[in-house]
Amino acid sequence: MPGKLKFLFLLALAAPAAFAEIRLQSHESISAAITALIESDFRQRNQEYQAEPVKLDIRLQLPLCDRPLDAFFLPGRRESGFLSVGVRCEGGRPWTIYNKVQVKAFREVVILKNAVRQGSVLTEADLGLEKRDLAELRGGYFTSLGQTVNRPVKRTLPAGTVLSPEWLSVSKMVRRGQKVIIRAESSHFAVNMSGQALADGEAGQRIRVRNDQSARIVEGTVMGPGLVLIGL
């Protein structure tokens, strides 16, 4: 066999072996790494979810990683909807890819069982808990009735509405001109006196009050409905 033909013949025999050494990472293994990441994350948060199957570009070809794949969420991840995830190989031939996975995360949130008018103060009878997809809740939500009871609503809302913080006002514990109890406390004793609030006050807010007996004006902290605490 002439030298040139012999060289080409040997090259043809060697080529399949060379290509055989380039093993590719299976799409199934990449999808499995992403799925495991999502399952672990939601299991730790004890949260119900549904995830769409991971879709990878059929043209994707990556060298087989000689170490376990590392899947991770990108910064600024959302609770639900399209989540951006990455998978990287930190082996001898490193690579990183990014993908999006559609996830529905469900949580019990506070909803209105009854329609309420603007200015109404919410009671437990108005409220309930329902499981909703968080991706549909754009304006925030509450997860316990205690966060919303006794708070006024800023607008008229229909039954079935998921309550959002933007629709609720902070309830005033004390109103200007209201009769209040002024409690003076020290480490040894406490004394209650009657007085009058000189300003509206929310829980924890500092306001001025007038002592009915002495007519003295003092400043105290609103501790509850009609109760203002001052120090001695």
The CATH number that domain 106-167 falls under is 3.90.1210.10
Q: Evaluate if pTM is beyond 0.85.
A: no
Structure tokens at 135: 């991706």
Which residues make beta-bridge pairs with 107?
A: 132
Structure tokens at 210: 């007038």
Residue extent(s) of CATH 3.90.1210.10 domains in the chain: 106-167
Helical residues (DSSP H) of 57-196, grouped into ranges: none
Please tell me what DSSP assigns to residue 176: T
Coil vs helix vs strand at 104: strand
Measured distance CA(12)–CA(2) in Å, rounded: 16
Which element (helix H / strand E) includes 183? strand 179-185
179-231: which CATH topology?
A: SH3 type barrels. (2.30.30)
Q: What is the pLDDT of residue 45?
A: 83
One digit per residue, the tens of pLDDT, for the chain of length 232 reads 554 444 444 444 444 444 445 799 999 999 999 999 999 999 988 889 999 888 899 999 999 999 999 999 998 888 888 999 999 999 999 999 999 999 999 999 999 999 999 988 899 999 999 999 988 887 788 998 988 888 889 899 999 999 998 898 877 788 899 999 999 887 777 889 999 999 888 777 889 999 998 888 888 888 888 999 987 5
Measured distance CA(61)–CA(133) in Å, rounded: 35
Coil vs helix vs strand at 15: helix
Question: In the block, which residue shows the tokens 């229909």?
Answer: 158
Which element (helix H / strand E) includes 6? helix 3-20
Sequence-separated contacts (24+) of 208-214 with Cβ below 8 Å: 209/180, 209/182, 211/182
Q: What is the pLDDT of residue 11?
A: 45
Q: What is the pLDDT of residue 18?
A: 44
Helix, strand, coil shares, percent, the chain, to 5:
20, 40, 40
Residue 92 neighbours by CB distance under 10 Å: 9
CA dist list (Å): 31 to 43, 82, 93, 182, 231: 18, 15, 19, 64, 63
User: Cβ(40)–Cβ(76) under 8 Å?
Assistant: no
Q: What is the pLDDT of residue 5?
A: 42
Residue extent(s) of CATH 2.30.30.760 domains in the chain: 179-231
Structure tokens at 190: 């406490």
Structure tokens at 62: 């990556």
Which residues make beta-bridge pairs with 122?
A: none
Q: Is 111 left (phi over 0), alpha (psi -120 to 50) or beta?
A: beta
